Amino acid sequence: MADSSTSPPTKTAAQKPPPPTARPVPSDAELLAAPLVPQRRPWRWVPVAVLLVLLAMLVHTLVANPRFQWDVVGDYLTRAAILHGLVLTLWLTAAVMVSGYLLGIGIAAMRLSHHPVLRGLSFGYVWLVRSVPPLVQLLFWYELASLYPRLSIGVPFGPELGSVGTAHLFGGTLAAYVALTLDVAAFSAEIVRGGILSVDRGQTQAAQALGLGGARIFRRIVLPQAMPAIIPASGNMLIGMLKATSIVSVIAVQDLLYSAQLIYNQNFLIMPLLLVATCWYILLTTLLSVGQYAVERRFARGSGREGPGLWRTARANLPLLGRAGATPAGLS
């Protein structure tokens, strides 16, 4: 008979392991007072490092390559011929943008009208001008005398009231002004039309219910709300037009690029003179970009879309300047 004293002891309630203690639930005040831990993103520095290496390589080749001849670039940067071409470029850009936008506003009004003839004519104009490259338009107006030796006005199929010869009418500068103005008018008409259509129709209906006139509704209600949609595209067009004026060099208009070409055709310093024109274009487009940014913020005030300032934008896009843009872990 087996000895009962040798059997394994049975576990009693006192020998059971104690249950794990429950973790205390933090209160709302403790959660709000807890420090925010930024979300770790170790791999985001890889593209930053690659871009910095590429930037360093670019700076090195610009500085170390003697073929750029930066001393020659600095010497010709403020020459009288270059500054004369720069003034013509600025004048042509300003004149074309002002005239083109005035004409484009009228075309946009025709596109938005309820008259089918006005809508059809404005649509046909926009379709035709946008289909033809600006260089082709420029050459067409410059060579207009070969197609129409005389321009006359009178009764169709009737007597002629007056005429003018075109042999010396369209010089290089006038042809460039007309061609670029017509091109800007077509694109600006669509920009203005799109900005006006972005305003909710209910805004106009509410103003009409209050008894406001059409001109006042457009000036005080529609236009301020349409400007945030019009200004970015208009600023891009202005910068694009500043650079597009360089095509007038093909018809010997002495703009900035053509002035540089005239100089390097004499001294054969092609790359330094092209860098002179490039430096001026970079400087002007930078100034226009800063102005566009300021105007956009001015018209976006109160809409919640003005965004951060220029310095805060640069800081958020340059991680080396700080830890801007860090997102706390667990938050979105």
Of 193, 187, 191, 199, the closest CA to residue 226 belongs to 199
Of 249, 253, 241, 251, the closest CA to residue 274 belongs to 249
User: What are the structure tokens assigned to 191, written together?
Assistant: 């920009």
Rounded Cα–Cα distance for residues 191 and 298 (Å) = 19
Of 167, 172, 179, 168, the closest CA to residue 134 belongs to 179
What's the pLDDT at 48?
86
pTM: predicted TM-score of the whole model, two decimal places:
0.73
Condensed to tens digits (0 to 9), the pLDDT of residues 183-216 reads 999 999 999 999 888 888 888 888 888 888 877 8
Rounded Cα–Cα distance for residues 121 and 111 (Å) = 9
Condensed to tens digits (0 to 9), the pLDDT of residues 55-69 reads 999 999 888 888 889
Condensed to tens digits (0 to 9), the pLDDT of residues 28-37 reads 777 778 787 7
What's the pLDDT at 262?
93
Of 192, 176, 144, 310, the closest CA to residue 254 belongs to 176
Condensed to tens digits (0 to 9), the pLDDT of residues 106-129 reads 999 899 888 899 999 999 999 999
Rounded Cα–Cα distance for residues 86 and 277 (Å) = 9
Task: Let me know: does 277 contact 256? Beta carbons within 8 Å.
Answer: yes
Rounded Cα–Cα distance for residues 161 and 151 (Å) = 11
Greater model confidence, 26 or 195: 195
